Structure 1
């Protein structure tokens, strides 16, 4: 006689009332918030421990124009905070405000040290705005670095370096430095160096060489008006002049006082002790 077995079905889970589920969820959330608060308070207390006060500020990199005591006196005293709370951007600005400092890299070093790496400006020329010169209110203490950037400095720091002087409108220092580097090698056959390079507000270039000639302005140095044009055009004009002017100075056995290269097919020169009379001399085309 066959028998039939009955299999028991698992009991269905009993759903908790909605208010109990909500209470459990709220309890978990509160526990997480409380744990987060404890961690936050613990971290804040840890950061305030004396062991994290800045104990050492190491300064390295380019320190040629400044001394370590000068840098520390100007910047370290402006640092505020400890290893964790110090604002690195403000620290960077404090060091870059020191004269001659171009860039500062500020890094934390565990647990209480700050490492500063400095890059100084490399002076390439003195800088004057043509607008300030024209108004008679020339600004003092500005230089151009090798990157074409203008920065403030004590010109007494470079008085023995015989730097060339650049003049130009606002925002043209980089162009003036590039033109100086292009033209300087071209004047080497004359055994002269550019003492001043001028860029007018109309875009016209001129130079004053570092010789002992008294020019038409009553100052020392041969004045050469070059005019306007692309860098290649300016360079070709100067190259042609340097290659041929020695014929005239040698012929008259005298010194060159000034030159005007703005003529379309040549140039005009003024020689010491040599006068000329020209009833209908052609005028230079403004370039």
Structure 2
């Protein structure tokens, strides 16, 4: 074998060895990646072991949020989807908004914004500031009682807020409000007086009552109700 043939044989051997080495490297990477992926997905290897909850809240309990996440989310820290965790947290009726993030190596961080109840709806639900009903209870809270047909929550709340604005210059407030199926307004004030405002121009009618209330107070009798469903004037019912 001459020198040229010897050199060519050497080059072929080096090339074959290089190819073999690359095959071994790629195979190792594939196997290693598969093992790592399986390890990451295996919740026993990298479980979610901590849920950190922060925010300003009163009615939400940390254990309830942790339980919602544990019940709805399967898999490891790596495989758990942030959107799924977020959806699980929002199942709590008192959660208004939430943000969720992962913190290495095994912690889920949750920041909560709690619902702000502004009224009790139909005796068994609460309304937030946007007129959206949610399940909850606020024992001892002095919230107005609003009643009305399903789907009329925002209408009832906006009417209540408009009335409160008219009454804000004095000591009277709306304690109870009823919006009928025909969308007629009836309210009971904090002093016990019931007002029948009808369907139309209820704010103008409430203003008429406010204007005439000082005159009504001159009577020694206690007022039971005032019917304002007239173009002018009102009908007054006195307590027996």
**Unmatched runs of 5 consecutive residues or more in structure 1:** 1-33, 129-139, 212-220, 274-287
Normalised to the residue count of structure 2, the TM-score between the two structures is: 0.77
Give distance in 2, aligned partners of 1:225 and 1:42: 74
The alpha carbon displacement at 1:150 in A equals 0.1
Normalised to the residue count of structure 1, the TM-score between the two structures is: 0.65
Q: Check if 1:205 corresponds to 2:173.
A: no
Aligned length: 213
The alpha carbon displacement at 1:82 in A equals 1.6
The alpha carbon displacement at 1:39 in A equals 8.1
Aligned residue among 105, 109, 125 for 1:111: 105
Identify the range of structure 1 (238-247 vs 40-49) with the bigger mean alpha-carbon deviation.
40-49
Give distance in 1, aligned partners of 2:29 and 2:196: 74
The alpha carbon displacement at 1:42 in A equals 5.2
The alpha carbon displacement at 1:210 in A equals 2.1
CA deviations over 1:51-107 (Å, ceiling 9, x no partner): 6432321111133113323433x3243232222211333322322223422232221
* 1:149 corresponds to: 132
Give distance in 2, aligned partners of 1:241 and 1:258: 11
* 2:90 corresponds to: 96
Q: Check if 1:193 corresponds to 2:187.
A: no
Q: Is the 8 A contact 2:41 2:75 kept in 1?
A: no
* 1:263 corresponds to: 230
Aligned residue among 121, 124, 127 for 1:127: 121
Q: Check if 1:163 corresponds to 2:130.
A: no
Give distance in 2, aligned partners of 1:180 and 1:145: 13
Q: Is the 8 A contact 1:148 1:177 kept in 2?
A: yes
Q: Which has the larger radius of gyration?
A: 1
Distance 1:190 1:260, change over 3 A: farther
Give distance in 1, aligned partners of 2:151 and 2:39: 50
Give distance in 1, aligned partners of 2:38 and 2:178: 62
CA deviations over 1:205-238 (Å, ceiling 9, x no partner): 1101122xxxxxxxxx221111113xxx322221
* 1:249 corresponds to: 217
Distance 1:45 1:210, change over 3 A: same
CA deviations over 1:253-285 (Å, ceiling 9, x no partner): 222210111111222111235xxxxxxxxxxxx
SS at match of 1:66: coil
**Unmatched runs of 5 consecutive residues or more in structure 2:** 1-26
Q: Is the 8 A contact 2:39 2:45 kept in 1?
A: no
Give distance in 2, aligned partners of 1:270 and 1:189: 25
Runs of 4+ in 1 over 6 A off after TM superposition: 34-37
Give distance in 2, aligned partners of 1:36 and 1:184: 70
Give distance in 2, aligned partners of 1:125 and 1:61: 23
Distance 1:263 1:191, change over 3 A: same
CA deviations over 1:115-160 (Å, ceiling 9, x no partner): 11111111111111xxxxxxxxxxx63111122110011x3xx231
